[in-house]
Structure 1
Amino acid sequence: MKQVKNLLSLYKCPIKTLNQKDDRLLIQAVLQRHIIEKIFDYAKQYFQSTGKHYHLEADIIKSESSLSLLLTHASKCRVGNDEVTLTASTKLRQQIYSILNNRGFSDIVGDAIYEHPFIAYYKEQLNDIMNELRIIEDIQKKSASENLAATIIRDVIKIFWFRLKVQEPAVQYLWIQNNTKVDKTFMEGNNLDDNGNLNLFVDLCYFPLIGRNLSSNNRKIYFPAKVYVNPTTN
């Protein structure tokens, strides 16, 4: 449990004596937060790379960004009254990210079909991290859990790198800070529905808020933040 306590400290979640059975929800929450942020780190490293055949997704995004800027520049700096030019950069972004959402990081077709090197490498990294934080004695359950790593990595990247940018305007995500007062209009949690306490505060956000204008009062929520609240400390 020491590693889990270290994670709680990392995310500034109140430290207490942990019990694997009683604190199952908290442990699951902090592990989920850690997994998501690790995958964010993996993706950021990947999308800074270019040039290899397995950097296709990164190359596509770089090209889309450059072409969108040029199209926007053309709409502002060249005389014309057509609607196509005005909407070209938006439609290009939506089409490109829709394609990436469907095919990004899928198995690669060559002389044979093989797993995308990014997925093959980082699923092992992710499993190594998770095996340091948990113990699964049942061999079948451990194997099933490890086999999920590739799917989890793909899903997280597709949500936060691809699907959010298919929307118009592009959608944002935001981690709710610890000690933020709970607001059920854009937060969900382990026991919020059953708790009548109006003075609850976030101990840990384990899935970010997704929407538009998230820092304003005119925010539009697409998916509420998932937060852990310990009522005994509020």
Structure 2
Amino acid sequence: MAQTVVHKANTRGVADHGWLKSYQSFSFAGYYNPERINFGALRVLNDDIVTGGMGFGEHPHDNMEIISIPLEGELQHKDSMGNTATIKAGEIQVMSAGTGIYHSEYNPDASKPAKFLQIWLFPNKRNVTPRYDQILLDATEQKNEFVQILSPNADDAGVWIYQDAWFNLAKFDAETSKTYQLHKKGNGVYIFVLKGEVEVNGQVLETRDGFGIWETDSFAVKAITDAEFLLMEVPMEF
């Protein structure tokens, strides 16, 4: 019998710093909920809005896989590895913090906010040499499919990380139903709805709701309306 957990959008932590508004699915900084520390190896899922011309000053990370998925606008990235890059909607960025890095993120467009998902996963290897990558996602990918954007394999579709995790983005037309098959026994999937309404395992989810499912090999996702969502398959034990 599959195990599930539902996190409705309005139950997330909220931090409003003026220049940054952050909606937090799991405990982070000033938001603490002992029942929402992580979902398996998924430690952080922040839905962030950065005001135009503002950003995160230089700060450190170590032994964490950090994924950024811009949804609107763009962010300028600089880090202690010498990388300077701009990431924008339609791209995905990954950093393996490993032995330690410093980085900053800044919205260079003063006229509009940047919206992005900030996702942290615990790695399966500690103290690796830090690394950075970003790719343009294939905008020609078909609708009504699970489109892989991250995996453990460097030669597979999307970016790769030091964890047995697979991420898929999906854009479904209303009434589309598709079965997701998990890649690895012992993994679970956390689904985050970006737009619209979907139904998973009998549970109706709306925009920005989260839903975790584990102890199953597969499950069906049905779009009630036109919908966009992110599926994050991660180890439940790590």
Superposed pair shares fold, TM > 0.5? no
Q: What is the TM-score normalised by the length of structure 2?
A: 0.27
| Greater helix proportion | 1
Find the structure with the greater CA-based Rg: 1
Q: What is the TM-score normalised by the length of structure 1?
A: 0.27
